[in-house]
Amino acid sequence: MTNEFVKIEKDRGIYTLIINRPEALNALNRSVFDALESFFKENLDNFDVKGVIITGAGEKAFVAGADIKEFLGLDAKGGSELSKRGQDIFFMIENFHAPVIAAVNGFALGGGCELTMACHIRVAGQHAKFGQPEVNLGLVPGYGGSQRLIQLIGKGKATEMLLTADMINAEEALRLGLVTHVVESGQEVTKAMDILIKIASKGPLAVKQSIQLVNAYFDKTQDGFKREYEDFGLTIGSEDSKEGALAFVEKRKANFKAK
């Protein structure tokens, strides 16, 4: 299901999801979550999807947070359910078989920062700003921000950002490891596309399993080293692995089929 709040564009198997609420600085509401959930569910095992870019409409914001109007009137149960749904959708993004890149073209605050952190790679424009300002509203992050921020930048700085609600700019985000590239404003999607085109030439099964292995490191229910030797066996026994080895020997481009 798509709606007017998330526009979808396709180019060479790479899908760009544009969160399209510029008048609200692309704030996350139920309709945005519906569209994100629908796209990632429908394409869960679709290897025709080579990669995904998520960005925001306009020049001011990637996603400047959640739609606070939807918080009004929520009790503890309703708040927990809202938070759980957001986390479930962001886990779908984090565990998607193809790489998902956040092209951050402005403010990425609260739920917006959490959305970027659920993506596998983050590209920021020079004017991007990141933050978790929930304490300003007497809240804590609800969509995984308290956990992923620590994973990406470490406990000390994450704690400071969570408690002070201070924003950081793109260059500091790069220094801390929150983003992997900083580019001129307006070039975020172009850089993300360049990265995804490169990855699209690799073995799709190997890409999928590599994403899962990285995630396994942070999953307390998994032994990442055990998962690695199992996935090594899985990939080396695949048709793609045989094609990749043969293409290497024959000095030609591999024709991977996700098998």
**Among all residues, which ones are annotated catalytic?**
114, 134
Query: What is the DSSP annotation of the chain?
Result: --BTTEEEEEETTEEEEEE--GGGTT-B-HHHHHHHHHHHHHTTT-TT--EEEEEESSSSEEE--B-GGGGTT--HHHHHHHHHHHHHHHHHHHT-SS-EEEEE-SEEETHHHHHHHHSSEEEEETT-EEE--GGGGT---SSSHHHHHHHHH-HHHHHHHHHH---EEHHHHHHHTS-SEEE-TT-HHHHHHHHHHHHHTS-HHHHHHHHHHHHHHT-TTS-HHHHHHHHHHHHHTSHHHHHHHHHHHHTS-------
Contact 196, 53 (CB under 8 A): yes
Question: CB-side exposure of 170: number of CA atoms within 13 Å?
Answer: 20
> Whose structure tokens read 């969570």?
162
Q: Strand 14-19 and strand 6-11: pairing? A: antiparallel
